[in-house]
Amino acid sequence: MKVASFNVQKFGRAKLSNTFVRETLIKIVSRYDIIVILEVVDSSGDSVETFLSELNQFYKTINYKMKISTRLGRGQQKEQFMFLYRDKVVDLVGSYQYEDNQPGDEDAFAREPYVLRFNCHNTVLKDLVMIPVHTKPDDAEREIDELYDVFKDVKKKWKTKNIMILGDFNADGAYLSKAIYLRSVNNHTAQTNEFDLMIVVYGDDMRNAVVPNSAKSFDLYIKFMECLLNVYSVRFSLDMSRHNRAATVLWN
C-alpha cells in the first residue's frame, strides 16, 4: 500500500482549470492508495469535486473517496487538508478536527491538524491514524513542538499507537531533527531536505510495517503555457499482508 503527502501549491479552481495541469495531477495521484493534499484553496468545493470525478474516470477499476477538512487559517487565506483514498484498500473509520485550545497555549496552529483513522484491508498493519501538517513558516518551531500535544490527544481518544504525522513542516533540518523526536517517543522519519516535507511514524508495529527503502521524495516543477505547477511530496509503502503479497502493485 502506497501513502503520500503532497503540497500542491494553491490547489483550487485556477490551477485545476488548466487541462494539462489537472490531467498531470490525476496521473500522479492515481499512483497512491492514500494521498493527503495540502493547501486546498477552493472555497466553493466545485473544482475539488470535479477533480475527484475525473480521477475516478481515469482508472475505472479503482474508486477513490474524499474526506476534506473545514477551511482553516487565521486570515483571509483559508486552506483545507484533503484526503483521497481507495475504498478497496482502506475503510475510513474515524475523523476529527483537533481543537487548538490547550490552556495557556491556545491557537498554536495556523491550520489545526485534521486527523483521520483508517482500517487497512491487506497490509500487515490494520489500524492507521494520519495527522497532516502544514505549518506557517514563521511559527514552524512552535507548531512542531505542539504536535506532541496532538499526538497525545490522538492516543487518548483512539487508544492506538499506529500514528503517522506527515506534511510540510516548513522548518530547517537542524530543528526538525531535534524536535521531531516528539519528546523521546519511538519513531521513524522520512524526509526531503529541499522542501521540509516529512513523514513520521510512531511505534514498533508501524515502523516494522514500512517497506524498507520505500520512503522517497517526488519533486515536480512544470512550466506549461505560463502556468506553473509545483508538487512537493514525500511517500512510502506499507507492507502487504502475507496472503496478499501477490496483489501488490508499486508504481515508480
pLDDT of residue 46: 93
Q: Other CB atoms closer than 10 Å to residue 64's CB: what's the count?
A: 24
Over residues 215-238, mean pLDDT: 48
Q: Annotated catalytic, 79?
A: yes
207 pLDDT more than 90: no
Confidence of residue 198 (pLDDT cuts 50, 70, 90): low
Confidence of residue 170 (pLDDT cuts 50, 70, 90): confident
Q: Report the share of the chain in percent with pLDDT over 90.
A: 33
Over residues 18-30, mean pLDDT: 89
232 pLDDT more than 60: no
Q: What is the spatial distance between Cα 182 and Cα 147, in angstroms, rounded to a whole number?
A: 8
Domain membership of residue 252 (yes or no) is no
pLDDT of residue 93: 98
Greater pLDDT, 243 or 85: 85
Domain membership of residue 7 (yes or no) is yes
pLDDT of residue 106: 73
Cell numbers for 52, please give them: 475527484
Sheet holding 34-40, edge to edge: 64-68, 80-86, 34-40, 2-11, 227-237, 216-224
Q: Annotated catalytic, 243?
A: no
The CATH number of the domain where 235 resides is what? Answer: 3.60.10.10
Q: Which of 70-74, 102-106, 181-185, 207-211 has the highest mean pLDDT?
A: 70-74
Q: Which structural domain, as residue segments, surrounds residue 212?
A: 2-247
Q: Which of 95, 123, 91 is nearest to 248 (CA)?
A: 123
pLDDT of residue 231: 46
Greater pLDDT, 101 or 177: 101
* Active-site annotation holder among 79, 112, 143, 146: 79
What tens digit of pLDDT does each residue of 115-157 get?
999 999 988 888 999 999 988 888 888 888 888 889 999 999 9
SS (H, E, C) the chain: CEEEEEEEEEECHHHHCCHHHHHHHHHHHCCCCEEEEEEECCCCCHHHHHHHHHHHHHCCCCCEEEEECCCECCCCCCEEEEEEEECCCEEEEEEEECCCCCCCCCCCCCCCCEEEEEEECCECCCEEEEEEEECCHHHHHHHHHHHHHHHHHHHHHHCCCCEEEEEECCCCHHHHHHHCCCCCCCEEEEEECCCCEEEEEECHHHHHHECCCCCEEEEEEEEECCEEEEEEEEEEEECECHHHHHHCCCCC
Domain membership of residue 148 (yes or no) is yes
Instruction: Kindly tell me the sign of the dihedral angle through the C-alpha atoms of 77, 177, 237, 112.
Output: negative
* Active-site annotation holder among 39, 112, 134, 146: 134
**CA distance between the termini of the chain:** 13
Distances (CA, A) of 18 to 15, 72, 79, 142, 233: 6, 25, 20, 37, 21
pTM of the model: 0.80
Q: What is the spatial distance between Cα 196 and Cα 118, in angstroms, rounded to a whole number?
A: 25
Domain membership of residue 188 (yes or no) is yes
How many structural domains are present in the chain?
Answer: 1
Confidence of residue 244 (pLDDT cuts 50, 70, 90): very low
**To 10 degrees, what angle do helices 19-29 and 46-58 make?**
60
Domain membership of residue 39 (yes or no) is yes
Domain membership of residue 145 (yes or no) is yes
Identity (one letter) of the amino acid at 100?
Answer: D
Domain membership of residue 21 (yes or no) is yes
Confidence of residue 226 (pLDDT cuts 50, 70, 90): very low
